[in-house]
Chains A and B, each alone.
Chain A
């Protein structure tokens, strides 16, 4: 076993494993971007990275701070508009994968990035949807990456910014959301959860090395179902670790360096 990795590293590495070659992937910045770039370097060289500001298929230079950073514009095939990316590609139905973060994720994989507390009387106002609602509404598969803390996994979000399965297995279809029954995979530093299409709820499918179910449950406010037998997240290969630390986030902008 390689000991020179953290569970944060493995969270990003595991997330990258869900992207397939030639996928069209809509991503913002932060950990979702790091994971997508890792995938592009390791398993999905022909992945098409689409940035909401309008950049299509750039060769990203490490490490961008923003979707407006020139580092996500380098050698793109097109510098277009937000309507090109979120309208003409995403809403048009061409995105295979959308990759999100989020402050709260609930039992139906709904995501809140708008407000903690009441919308009209907020405890903490967060940045808002941005393109996240659009990503979650239209992509065929949704990946969510976030560090696992109890407050981040409430039973119900204070505010639903981006749709998971809303309130049950047919929640999305009933609401008229174009991507009716997408796979949704939540990757954290403790486990992987996936939507169970029969209930529309998150199920624990994999555990990170040396993490117990109890540890996940203690750090989750809702009661996730558990898939039996629960699998283990594969240990990172030396190559995965090297590429992550040396090529994708060499300055430790998003992940602590070792």
Chain B
């Protein structure tokens, strides 16, 4: 049966060359310090794709790296936060210096926009954000970012309509996928199921490439069927320094190092990008520089203790 399966495996280099273009709207997977698609974000930075619009919920490290590398013109998201480790500082600095456009939404609003996109309908009604300044600022460009109507079935009941969002391409890092792109996400899935199904193209990296027979024997485990996915790359540690449930814990030391550099900006930050991205021949080289075998064992053991 294996000959019936479409093989979407390719390198990250190939996938980004093929599916990411300058000016694209990119859906960003993961959240905060969990399952962030660092591996694919690094590759986009290496290929210097510019003029990007980034969309998602709490976009922490991927967004901050892409903004810090000066590849982003606009973000539409719910927050830029590493939670206990602070704000997304490069993103913050870019906003404070008017270097990027921002459209703020709540997390549910962003998930609702992806849901509309995934259902092929033009908008989704919501009862979030009403009365607040999140619905006061249609100020980024000439597109309407929301519309408030009266509920057709109930008088004096304002409802906000949110435009569907279909990213040109989404990048996510999952625990497992088979070569055709059937994805298994373990643990929380945040906004990813709707975002992936709404996206025109999807690149997925995974900790472990699994046999398609495993998917067929355990279909209830499939988070996303292959029909939504365009490229599959096996990349252990692809979410580092954030955590990947069942595999490894987040690396506080490296997150703190990143946050210090991102907050300082200037040469300190460009040194970080050089050391860990531009001067690395591969993502593995970054992982080795940033963590090493002892740290890696610690992060794996630490996750096992939390399961």
Asked if A138 and B127 sit within 8 Å, CB to CB, the answer is: yes
Are the C-beta atoms of B107 and A82 separated by less than 8 Å? yes
Listed stretches A65-73, A210-218, A225-233; interface member: A65-73
Q: Which of chain B's residues have a CB closer than 8 A to the CB of A171?
A: 131
Whether A130 pairs with B131 at a CB distance below 8 angstroms is no
A177 touching B186 in the complex, CB below 8 Å, given contacts A68-B33, A130-B78: no
Type the 1/0 row for B231-262, where 1 means its CB is closer than 8 Å to any CB of A: 00000000000110100011010000000000
0/1 interface trace, chain A 130-148, chain B, CB 8 Å (1 if under)? 1111100110000000000
With A30-B83, A137-B127 known as contacts, the answer to whether A129 contacts B107 (CB < 8 A) is: yes
Interfacial residues of chain A within 152-191, with CB under 8 A of chain B in the complex: 159-163, 166, 171-172, 174-178
- Across-interface contacts of B78 in A (CB, < 8 A): 128-131
CB atoms of A83 and B194 under 8 A apart = yes
Distance (Å) between the CB of B298 and the closest chain A CB? 14
Q: What's the Cα separation between A131 and B105 when bound, in Å? A: 9
Q: Please tell me which one of the listed residues A52, A66, A79, A128 contacts residue B77 in the complex, with CB atoms under 8 A apart.
A: A128
Per the CB 8 Å criterion, the residue count for chain B at the interface is 66
> Is B55 interfacial (CB 8 A cutoff)?
no
Q: Report Cα–Cα, A156/B275, bound state, in Å.
A: 45
Cβ of A251 < 8 Å from any Cβ of B? no
The residues of B that contact A129 with a CB separation of less than 8 Å are 78-79, 104-107, 134
Contacts of A51 in B (CB 8 A): 188
In the bound complex, do residue B306 and residue A81 qualify as a contact, i.e. CB atoms below 8 Å apart?
Answer: no
Flag B123-147 by CB within 8 Å of A: 1 or 0 each: 0001111111110010100000000
What chain A residues lie within 8 Å of B127 (beta carbons)? 91, 137-138, 176-178
- Contacts known (A68-B33, A163-B131, A176-B159); A87 close to B108, Cβ less than 8 A: yes
The A/B interface has a contact count, at CB < 8 Å, of 202
CB-CB under 8 A from A124, the residues of chain B are 92, 96
Task: Give chain B residues whose Cβ lies under 8 Å from the Cβ of A110.
Answer: 132
Are B188 and A125 within 8 A (Cβ)?
Answer: no
**Which residue of the partner chain, among B82, B104, B137, contacts A128 with CB atoms under 8 Å?**
B104
Contacts of B243 in A (CB 8 A): 68-70
Q: Helix, strand, loop or mixed for chain A's interface?
A: loop
**Is A98 at the interface (CB under 8 A from chain B)?**
no
Are B191 and A82 within 8 A (Cβ)? yes
* Known pairs A53-B34, A73-B245, A81-B189; A128 contacts B128 (CB<8 A): no
Cβ-based interface call for B122 (8 A): no
Chain A residues within 8 Å of B96, by CB: 122-125
Residue B227 CB within 8 A of the other chain: no
A256 to B143, CA, bound (A): 48
Kindly state the separation between the CA atoms of A29 and B84 in the bound complex, as whole angstroms.
8
**What are 10 A-to-B residue pairs whose CB atoms are below 8 Å?**
A65-B85, A81-B188, A110-B132, A119-B133, A120-B139, A127-B81, A128-B104, A129-B104, A130-B79, A253-B84
* B interface residues with partner A (beta carbon < 8 Å): 30-35, 57-58, 77-85, 87-88, 91-92, 95-96, 98, 104-109, 111-112, 115, 126-134, 137, 139, 148, 157-159, 186-194, 242-243, 245, 249-250, 252, 303, 306-307
Question: Which residues of A does B touch, CB under 8 Å?
Answer: 28-30, 51-55, 61, 65-71, 73-74, 79-83, 86-87, 90-91, 110, 114, 119-134, 137-138, 159-163, 166, 171-172, 174-178, 253
Given A134-B107, A134-B109, 9 more pairs with CB closer than 8 A = A70-B187, A70-B306, A73-B245, A128-B81, A130-B57, A133-B106, A133-B132, A138-B128, A163-B132
